[in-house]
Amino acid sequence: MLKDFLIAPGPTAVPSEVLIEMSRPIYHHRTPRFSQLFMETIELLKYLYQTKQDVFILASSGTGAMETAVVNTLSPGDSVLVVRSGKFGERWGEICEAYNVSPAYIDVEWGEAVDPKRIEDHLKEHPDVKAVFTQYTETSTGVTHDIKKISDIVSKTNALMIVDAITGLGVTKCPVDEWKLDVVICGSQKSLMLPPGLGFLSFSEKAWKANESSTLPRFYFNLKAEKKAQSNKTTAWTPAVSLIIGLHKALQMIKDEGIEEVIKRHKIIADAIRAGVGALGLELFAKSPANSVTSIKVPEGIDGLQIPKLMRDKYGIAIAGGQAQAKGKIFRIGHLGYIDKSDVAVVFQSLEFTLRELNYTFEWGSSSKAVQEVLYPEYKKLDIRKA
């Protein structure tokens, strides 16, 4: 008997509070009951996004929301700038190319963050750029980009600032209005503690202006239709009702905890994970590591594919390997969403087993020692809960 843990950079664990809500009998979506739930959920989503502008819920994965951002703001032949620092940066480019948008690329070595100066220089040289596409955190490498600094640059131009924050929102500070982010993408199976199936995006006034002249073809992912439907307290197409019921609950949990507290919790857990990794003599892959996912270099002489395989199939802990060019070279621990100190203890216990089984040398419990040193001062400060 082996308990299974999902400690991957998505999908993440779903709390029983959310599962219970999603297990209730389904109801029809063209009803006042659904309309009320839906509009409450939209308001809660605006709280998460820290925005007063529009937010949308799509029955799609995060990739669908990425495509929505492209097709609702651009026209064929438009010049755009894409930061390509990992698999998901590549995806922005692939979507643009599929729609005959013309992306220029800033290629960043995997594991590194983009230097905002490069974006500034490109925009100065190419004032016709209609949009800058980037990730907040690049899930494939575990890197965080300095979105605030990039947005400070982009927001002073005519270009839209379009951010894939699929593993950033609800993890790291991301005040959409304050930072002038035009489109911010998220998905349900990450910090939102839900199963996959929903994509989200915010859409600024500046994005709506771009929408007016945008001619890319769109039908399912038509935000004008969604905006009109939302003004009638519903969605354009059939919504994923159970997932939205779960989303309402998950967002309520986030609001009850408080977004600042949620961000702080992710920071503390990420610090603990990084400390544990370091104590095992392992090296981080990301130069500016994200608080949602920690990417770790596979130590010399070890078969990198075996680490996530043993973790999952022998020890019950689902972490992630590297993708594409990082395959076999890194492994990734996810720590976003429904995560607390206990997950840190659980993942390092089995990581120690796995590494030892692969003949990597370290002292038993050394990760725990480092983790405890980081977590204790933070947990000590907490109040005792009312029983």
Binding site for a second copy (CB under 8 A): 1-3, 5, 23, 253, 257, 261-262, 265, 309-310, 312-316, 338, 340-346, 348-350, 352-353, 356-357, 363-373, 375-376, 379-380, 382-387
Q: Which is nearer to a second copy, 214 or 367 (CB)?
A: 367
The DSSP 8-state label assigned to residue 383 in this structure reads P
Q: In what helix (H) or strand (E) does residue 342 lie, and over which residues does it extend?
A: helix 341-357
Please report how close the Cβ of residue 79 comes to a second copy at its closest, in angstroms.
44
Whether 293 and 336 have beta carbons less than 8 Å apart is answered as yes
What distance in Å separates the CA atoms of residue 151 and residue 37, rounded to the nearest whole number? 33
Q: Provide, rounded to whole angstroms, the least separation between the CB of residue 383 and a second copy.
A: 8
Q: How far is the CB of 315 from a second copy (least distance, A)?
A: 7
Residue type at position 61:
S
- Indicate the residue among 201 and 272 with the shorter CB distance to a second copy: 272
Read off φ and ψ for residue 289, nearest 5 degrees.
-70, 145
CB of 262 to a second copy, least distance (A): 8
Buried b vs exposed e over 213-238: b needs ≥16 C-beta within 10 Å? ebebebeebbbeebeebbeeebbbbe
CA distance 93 to 207: 19
Between residues 231 and 359, which has the closer beta carbon with respect to a second copy? Answer: 359
Residue (23 or 36) nearer to a second copy, CB: 23
Of 209 and 309, CB closest to a second copy: 309
Contact partners, residue 130, CB within 8 Å, separation at least 6: 73, 74, 78, 79, 80, 158, 159, 160, 210
CA distances from 197 to 63, 192, 194, 222 (A): 11, 12, 9, 18
DSSP state of 78: -
Nearer residue to a second copy within complex by CB, 225 or 345: 345
Spatial distance between the Cα atoms of 76 and 97, rounded to a whole number of angstroms: 9
Query: Which residues 6+ apart lie within 8 Å of 328 measured at CB?
Result: 298, 303, 304, 305, 321, 322
Smallest gap from Cβ 312 to a second copy, in A, equals: 7
Kindly tell me which of 205 and 373 has the beta carbon lying closer to a second copy. Answer: 373
Question: Max Cα separation, the chain?
Answer: 62
Report in angstroms how near the CB of residue 143 gets to a second copy at its nearest: 26
Return d(Cα 233, Cα 340) in angstroms, integer.
Answer: 35
When the beta carbons of 31 and 379 are compared against a second copy, the nearer one is 379
Residue 318: Cβ within 10 Å count: 17
Determine how β-strand 183-187 pairs with β-strand 79-84.
unpaired
Distance of closest approach, residue 384 Cβ to a second copy, in angstroms? 5
Cβ proximity to a second copy: between 123 and 370 the closer is 370
Q: How far is the CB of 311 from a second copy (least distance, A)?
A: 11
Taking the complex as a whole, how short is the minimal distance between the CB of residue 174 and a second copy, in angstroms? 19
Backbone angles phi, psi at 135, to 5 degrees: -95, 155
- Considering the complex, state which of residue 159 and residue 319 has its C-beta at the smaller distance from a second copy: 319
Q: Min. distance of Cβ 40 from a second copy in angstroms? A: 21
Residues 6+ apart with CB under 8 A from 224: 72, 211
